Amino acid sequence: MPDKFAMSYQFHTTPLLHIGNGQSASLGKLAGAKLGPRVLLITDPGLMRLRLAEPALASLRASGCDTRVFDSVEADPSLQTLLEAVAMAREIQATGIVGFGGGSSMDVAKVTALLAGSGEQLDEAWGVNMAKGPRLPLVLVPTTAGTGSEVTPVSIITVEGDEKRGVSSPLILPDLAVLDAGLTTGLPQHVTAATGIDAMIHAIEAYTSKSANNNPLSRALAVEALQLLGRNIETACFDGGNIAAREAMLTGAMLAGMAFANSPVAAVHALAYPVGGMFHIPHGLSNALVLGEVMRFNAPACYTQYAELAPYVFADIDRSQSAQSICADFIERLGALSEKLGLQLQLRNHGIGEDALPAMAAAAMKQTRLLVNNPREVSEADALAIYRAAW
């Protein structure tokens, strides 16, 4: 990890946050002037069936925004879905974009705002700091407490061959994010668990990232995120209507997003992407499936940092142990927590055959922008061994 003081770094985040139960019903008042007269709201069909976006839509329309809806976003959104959203934005001559939903909807909204606002080609925008802009005004409203996409400069899209590719640029940070915990109270337990563990992984990987931009702000945010998430994830899962727990989870996920947006994630995400891309397993669960074995692999390089984090998640952990023992205890307890929340952590339990593991390892090695941040170098043989241990 970079020296805590002898360094320079940059920190990007969303410039304005509105946080509070019910805030999405005032979206027009909060953001109508910024979005302009023709707005495209991007979401998924499940949220439309639940009518979760109706108060936000009514508020936008009452403020004078002619608001259309693109509701075809799927989990791990495809290139085709993105291009259809961009085409609709151009067709209605959108002056602003709203992403309403989980990470998938927000990721599609980010790149739609970029491509519809700039006219640039997607192939020119892939990668880190390749986007040129400008983008359309952009507002994001998360409905899960997991991805932190509302405060990250990254959008992940599934392209040909189930490969995940990213656009990473501060240009796609939104102008405004609205965090309304009331939107998350109806989430099923398994979604709450997987997205919550995902947010914890963001904080853990940000704290231990080998990135040259690993910085004091990101580490402080990661610690606060883990405290909020660790203290509230069980209540949120087993008492879903508890608004205080839901608010804590949403805030924790956002803080973890701020942390990893600037001190990027690493091998957990790199190895999770083939799980999601090839087998269409949700992103949060994909991360949870490989978390334990990646941490065990990384431990020789960063057991001190893992031990530092452990008490923020598990306040009762025995701090009199050696750092190596606290680290090992931390890894075991994270796995036990996931299982307590109802997540099955073996790859074999999710339709993944052992014969698929070599192809997954080869696919993971393509995630070089993530692997470069890992505390310990990962070879293809290492990735295969991690998958086999997780199988």
Measured CA to CA, the distance from residue 240 to residue 191 in angstroms comes to 11
In 3-state terms, what secondary structure has residue 154?
A: strand
Query: Is 70 exceeded by the pLDDT of residue 70?
Result: yes
Each residue's pLDDT tens digit, 322-342: 999 999 999 999 999 999 999
- 380 pLDDT band, cuts 50/70/90, is very high
> What is the model's pTM?
0.95
* CA diameter of the chain: 63
Residue 238 CA to its chain's centroid (Å): 22
Query: Is 70 exceeded by the pLDDT of residue 5?
Result: no
Domains of the chain and any CATH numbers: 23-179 (3.40.50.1970), 189-390 (1.20.1090.10)
Bridge partners of 217, per DSSP, are: none
Residue 351 has what pLDDT?
95
Contact residues for 62 (Cβ-Cβ < 8 A; gap 6+): 28
User: What tokens were used for 57?
Assistant: 């839509």
110 in Cβ contact with 155 (< 8 Å): yes
Each residue's pLDDT tens digit, 71-112: 999 988 999 999 999 999 999 999 999 999 999 999 999 999
Residue 377 burial by CB count (10 A; 0-12/13-18/19+): exposed, middle or buried? exposed
Residue 330 has what pLDDT?
98
Each residue's pLDDT tens digit, 200-215: 999 999 999 999 999 9
Q: Name the average pLDDT for the chain.
A: 96
Question: Higher confidence at residue 280 or residue 231?
Answer: 231
311 in Cβ contact with 302 (< 8 Å): no
In 3-state terms, what secondary structure has residue 134?
A: coil
Q: What is the mean pLDDT of residues 135-162?
A: 94
Each residue's pLDDT tens digit, 59-68: 999 999 999 9
Count of CB atoms situated within 10 Å of the CB of 162: 16
**Strand locations in 26-137 (E):** 38-42, 66-70, 96-101, 127-128
